[in-house]
Structure 1
Amino acid sequence: MDRRSMAVLNQLVQSDSYITIQELAAKFNVSRRTIYNDLEKINDWLKEIDLPGVRQIREKGIYLDQNVKENISSKLTISDNSYYEFSHDERKAWIYIYVSIAETPYFLDDLKELFQVSRNTVLDDIKKLKEEMALEDLELFSEHQRGYQISGDEKIIRRTLIHYLSFVTPDNGWYSLINSQEWKTEDLLLPYSIFSYEVLNTLQHLLHDYEKQSRIEITDDVLNSLVIWFYLFLYRIKKENYVKTDPIEKEVILTTEEFSGAKKICNALANQLRLDIPSDEVLYFSKYLLSAKVNYSLDLQLENQEMKLLRQVVEKMVSEFQLYAAVDFPEKSHMIQNLLLHLKPAFYRIKYGIKIDNVLCDSVKENYPEVFLLTKKVIHHFENLIEQPVHDNEIAYIAMHFGGWLRKEGVVLERARKKLLIVCTNGLGTSRMLESQLKGLLSDIEIIGVTSIREYEKMEIQVDIIVSTIPLPDKGVPVFVVRPVLSNEDKEALLKKVNSLYKNKSKQQIYSVDTVMDIVRRYAQIEDDQELRKELRSYFQAPIIIDDKKRKPNLNVLLPEGRIVTNERVHDWKEAIKLASSSLIKQNFINETYVEKMIENIISMGPYVVISESFALPHATAADGVYKTGMGLLHLQESIDLLGKSVQVFIILASLDNEQHLKALSQLTRLLSDKENKKIVQSGNRKRIIQLINNFSTD
């Protein structure tokens, strides 16, 4: 067997459950066909030493029998060194990183050795890298004695360093590289050996000291990224490649606590590494501290004018989100404070051109499209403050804050109440969204809180289950690793795993296992009754199917033609609301109290329900008298005055929670965003209105 085949065998020996071909292909960065070839080699080898081959269960994956694993472990030494096939993008990224920070020259042969590939492969990588760098006005060239070199603006060189670093970030982030107590170069994939554990450790301790002095906690992921980024910057400084800071920026940064923190960090580094760090570099480090996401800040500074304006922006965004989403956040002031905590570093990231790669962006768009689009509708307040557009990566983070505050409706698991702890490395918005998803999904399990990886390491664990965004050190409690934003497939898989922890299954499930056991006994000898029963129970445990489409109905489901009413005129807006609500009351969606509460809200808060010219969306909360989620529409031939606003169409909204109506509301918003569609609705042609609603009721 070759190195990769041995590495695949090692994975099978160490795995305590099934593993799929796709998972192996992803782990080793090769094709499925390549994995099948490796399995053939493994099976041939196992046959030679008289051991059973790799087994496979359809829809579960492949595995080795326990006695085979024990036999291999006792007789053979399998290397723990990882095997990995670097992709084209990863090789380009490592070439850029090595040329940027390596203290010794790198030539073509060195790069060949680094990746164990041919000369032509490296030349092709370099050609593509040069093309990408040229787009940033950077140049990659080679010199006879000095090897490959990079020229260009130092700020752009460093910004590009961070960009390429994202291609080689380990699956679990930089945590394991920075925090391992037995860190050895030989344990790493070769390119990672460019990092010095001692320097990384020093940077981590200095950042921890900065947190204590500033009374903040930086999110785990960002703290680890800062350690790596500062490491790269230090080695640029070592090579005497310095940045220059704009004088106007300098005046602002010098007044911040982050500058004081960066100065202490740089002074300590200068002393320990015997390195001269110019004042402009201290300012440069300060920018990254200013832009760092935090879990909390006990001294959120708002004394400067920019931060006062930022608070006003956050308040407007929250109020407008509530209006567009037709929701009420029960702890609005708390939410404003948390969003402000996030937007402060986002403000500085955008201001100083520090780009972040949000790996969760696509997940947010896919799994929470309505929340993402609503956030895009209110982001203009923030864009006006920073005087530039906000990238979708940043919008997705903000959407996660809003999404985390929307109440979830979940599936009740019929079992004794267990305690669950969430360990999340991604920050406040992400952890709140994950907590919100799990509360809805595992609504009969008590979630005792969310913690960072650093807090987890110090804790005495007194819970039954842990859900984490990264693998954790074993503390004797089952740990389920999930993505921070759960898709329907993720939810189903997690439910299945959680269900498998509980021995008391339904009668139907017990009988199913017993029936299979009886059949097996008739034709075969069972060596381990208990383990087979356990394995079958795990296999037959059916996941609860999560269907967001049913939980978030389309517009034509919430607003069927039977609840669309037209009328010539009414006495006043109160009568209009009562008339528009009448079908919802008759069909037992709401009660009279809900109607009175909608009217009270408008009297006390003004015409906030007017969402567009001539259109009003009256609503109250679920507690005010909602039995089922639904909508009703009233069209008036003659407009009516609603506290200074002219309204012709009233759309009553009643929702059991803050989520069920969001898809329908998003579809309604798209419908009304077109002037021609608005004219059709305003015309009162009932048949055309129904047709429009059906046309826009698509996923």
Structure 2
Amino acid sequence: MKNRQYKIFQSILQNNGLSLQELMDNYDVSKRTIYYDINEINYEIKEYGKIENLNRKFIYLGDERIYAKYKIKSDISSDVEYRHRYIIEKIFTDTFSTIDEISEDLLVSKGTIFNDIKEIKDYLHLENIDLVFNKKYQLKADELIIRDAYINYMYLDQDLISYVDPRILEVNRRADLHLTDYSISLLSKFVIFTDNRIKSGNKLKETSLYDDAKNFYYYNILENVMDYDDEDELKYLAAFVASMTKLKSDKLNSNIKKFVNELIHNFEKYAAVVIQNKDDFSKDITRHLSSSYYRLKFKFPIYNGSLKEIKKDYSYLMDLVKISVKNTNSAVFSEMRESEIGFLAMYFGARVESFSKRENRVVIVCPNGRVISKMLESQLYNYLPTINIVGVVSIHELDEMSAQFDYIISTIPLEKYNNVILVKPVLTPHNISILYEKLLNINSVIDEDSINQIIDIVKDYAEIKDEEKLKKALLEMLIYKNEAIRKADNKIMLSQVLDENRIRKIKKVSDWKEAINIGSEILLKEASIEKSYVEDMIESIEKVGPYVVISDGIAMPHAKYKYNVSKVDISILIIEEAVDMEGKDIDTFIILANLDNNDHIQMLSVLTDILNDKKSMEILKTADYKKVNKMIKGYED
């Protein structure tokens, strides 16, 4: 590459694109010369990507390793997440050379690389993997744990599309698996990794979990193409392939539908809510689980880019979904990973918490071709299962779209359009976080116009060194403050509601109806409910049966809100001699007064944690207010 061409290439990469006029002015050359140089550059870099003229800007589209290849300084080299992924890939694939070479590749100091490795070591330790150095960096852990960790890292690999193993293509063709391009890339990258692990003597030990994979129709094809001499490895790979497919059977569909019905029933019971449009909701979850059944059955991990935010902002919802899943009778689904629980929590949240006031419709715009577009679509459905994608189009097709949309998700800047969410072809954690906030309307209380007005005021009285950084800092501060206020306003704490008068213990009652009446006395006295609400609770149980029994010996009577509840409230009645409720022996009655806005859900998440802990239940059944209150606050902290 000639010196001028290198400088043009460097400036395009460092500025995230430049217009033809800018290039002509910067290098004092003609339009014809610029186009000639771009063609020469593209020929030189064809293994990595190409420069294209999009929206009147020359933009590089392709593999990010090009920065290291041509020693071009960029934001990537200063991106901690990128460096960590780069180093982790080297360590996991046993291709880590020397600190000097890695620092040269990433264009940072050796001290920075040493710090990165220390942080990676600490992070891996949290995943029960030890990173040790003995002539070279090595991973010490159970082989399945190491492979699970690598699967998670694969989902963030920006170079994923470059992996196409001919063996996977052959299996896909001969077995007619209809694998997506995204799945082919994931599987290709993974078999290259496992090949390396096997050659290094790092084989699997306990593989009985994957025994059923031997029955898949493509097992013999896989055995023939992969030429593995280890049955354990072959079973494991066959199971992983299944996790990428949409294999279906009547039995499988029946199992999923049964689980979904149990799940919804449990959630309604524990959260004391009624899911609206239950049939449609059931179909949505069934569709999601159908595509992930074998991933769950064989316990393969899935990266959930929204998990951190869900756990932070909606921990109570996670708890309720988790307990609802756990108390199903499904061998496959009842032991879900936390990342999978997070996806389900998004479904339930969209129904009961109004994550989104309306469904956001998105269109995907990707100039890199159909493969990248489909990869992006697959990831979006993985990370945001409730997303509504109305089209996958090229830039030229965008103007002609007839379908209405709210956001454009694009891999390149689209300056003439509003509501564009810019992402990488393989979504980064930052991309996923932004999508989560935008599409689920989390943290959307501050508008940018308000920030600009503040900036204008500041300019009148002070010098601004970096306007963009100041804008970002103000935006983050105000979002955080408003989010804290919102949470404080909505959060109903069990310890605040359950005072000394709302927990009682008595010897016995004549029947369960008397128990509900006695338990409701304090709520009536405090005018939290009207007498008709008590009658509704009793009538519901008489009609439907003991649906309010949420665990052995524990009932949570409640009724549908009919303007006969003035505020969320709760009382607990413990009976020494259990009473029969429609065939169930009950000694603990939790009377719940709930409005129609689901404000009680956070309170119930703490309560379900208590009900599922034996020692906590022993404390609750003493009805000793001081002990009970201390125990509850322990859960709320």
Question: Is 1:611 matched up with 2:550?
Answer: yes
CA offset at residue 394 of structure 1? 3.4
**CA–CA separation in structure 1 for the residues paired with 2:359 and 2:588:** 49
Question: Is 1:363 matched up with 2:328?
Answer: no
Question: Is 1:233 matched up with 2:191?
Answer: yes
> Which residue, 534, 542, 548 being the options, matches 2:487?
548
CA offset at residue 366 of structure 1? 1.8
Superposition TM-score, scaled by structure 2 size: 0.60
> Which residue, 311, 321, 326 being the options, matches 2:272?
326
The residue number in structure 1 matching 2:512 is 573
User: SS in structure 1 opposite 2:105?
Assistant: helix
AA aligned to 1:549 is A
The residue number in structure 2 matching 1:479 is 420
CA offset at residue 84 of structure 1? 0.4
The residue number in structure 2 matching 1:290 is 242
The residue number in structure 1 matching 2:340 is 394
C-alpha distance 376-130 of structure 1, shift in aligned 2 (>3 A): closer
**CA–CA separation in structure 1 for the residues paired with 2:116 and 2:355:** 49
**CA–CA separation in structure 1 for the residues paired with 2:599 and 2:444:** 22
Report how many aligned residue pairs link the two structures: 530
**CA–CA separation in structure 1 for the residues paired with 2:618 and 2:347:** 36
C-alpha distance 356-542 of structure 1, shift in aligned 2 (>3 A): closer
**CA–CA separation in structure 1 for the residues paired with 2:408 and 2:596:** 25
The residue number in structure 1 matching 2:606 is 667
Contact 1:614 1:647 in 2 (8 A): yes
Question: Is 1:312 matched up with 2:258?
Answer: yes
What are the within-5 Å matches in structure 2 for residues 27-46 of structure 1?
Answer: none
> Which residue, 592, 595, 620 being the options, matches 2:534?
595
What are the within-5 Å matches in structure 2 for residues 2-13 of structure 1?
Answer: none
Deviations 1:475-500 (A, max 9, x none): 72323576278689x96753323x64
AA aligned to 2:445 is L
> Which residue, 122, 146, 149 being the options, matches 1:163?
149
Question: Is 1:408 matched up with 2:358?
Answer: no
User: SS in structure 2 opposite 1:163?
Assistant: helix
Question: Is 1:94 matched up with 2:31?
Answer: no
> Which residue, 470, 494, 504 being the options, matches 2:444?
494
The residue number in structure 1 matching 2:389 is 451
CA offset at residue 152 of structure 1? 12
AA aligned to 1:476 is Y
Contact 2:316 2:606 in 1 (8 A): no
AA aligned to 1:230 is S
**CA–CA separation in structure 2 for the residues paired with 1:478 and 1:204:** 38
Contact 1:200 1:228 in 2 (8 A): no
**CA–CA separation in structure 2 for the residues paired with 1:641 and 1:348:** 42
The residue number in structure 1 matching 2:105 is 114
User: SS in structure 1 opposite 2:273?
Assistant: coil
Q: Identity percentage over the alignment?
A: 21
CA offset at residue 553 of structure 1? 0.5
Unaligned runs of 5+ in 2: 1-7, 18-71, 365-376, 422-430, 463-470
**CA–CA separation in structure 1 for the residues paired with 2:633 and 2:444:** 36
C-alpha distance 594-247 of structure 1, shift in aligned 2 (>3 A): closer
Deviations 1:304-360 (A, max 9, x none): 4x6644543443333223222222222444444443444456553355463334343
Question: Is 1:431 matched up with 2:384?
Answer: yes
User: SS in structure 1 opposite 2:407?
Assistant: strand
C-alpha distance 391-638 of structure 1, shift in aligned 2 (>3 A): closer
What are the within-5 Å matches in structure 2 for residues 262-281 of structure 1?
Answer: 277-278=226-227
Deviations 1:538-585 (A, max 9, x none): 99x976923223213001444445655777765532343345345545
**CA–CA separation in structure 2 for the residues paired with 1:80 and 1:204:** 36
**CA–CA separation in structure 2 for the residues paired with 1:617 and 1:694:** 18
Superposition TM-score, scaled by structure 1 size: 0.55
Contact 1:611 1:617 in 2 (8 A): yes
Contact 1:91 1:125 in 2 (8 A): no
What are the within-5 Å matches in structure 2 for residues 71-90 of structure 1?
Answer: 82-85=75-78, 89-90=84-85
Unaligned runs of 5+ in 1: 1-5, 16-78, 143-147, 179-194, 271-275, 436-448, 525-534
AA aligned to 1:494 is S
User: SS in structure 1 opposite 2:239?
Assistant: helix
User: SS in structure 2 opposite 1:377?
Assistant: helix
Contact 1:291 1:347 in 2 (8 A): yes
Contact 1:112 1:122 in 2 (8 A): yes
**CA–CA separation in structure 2 for the residues paired with 1:671 and 1:151:** 39
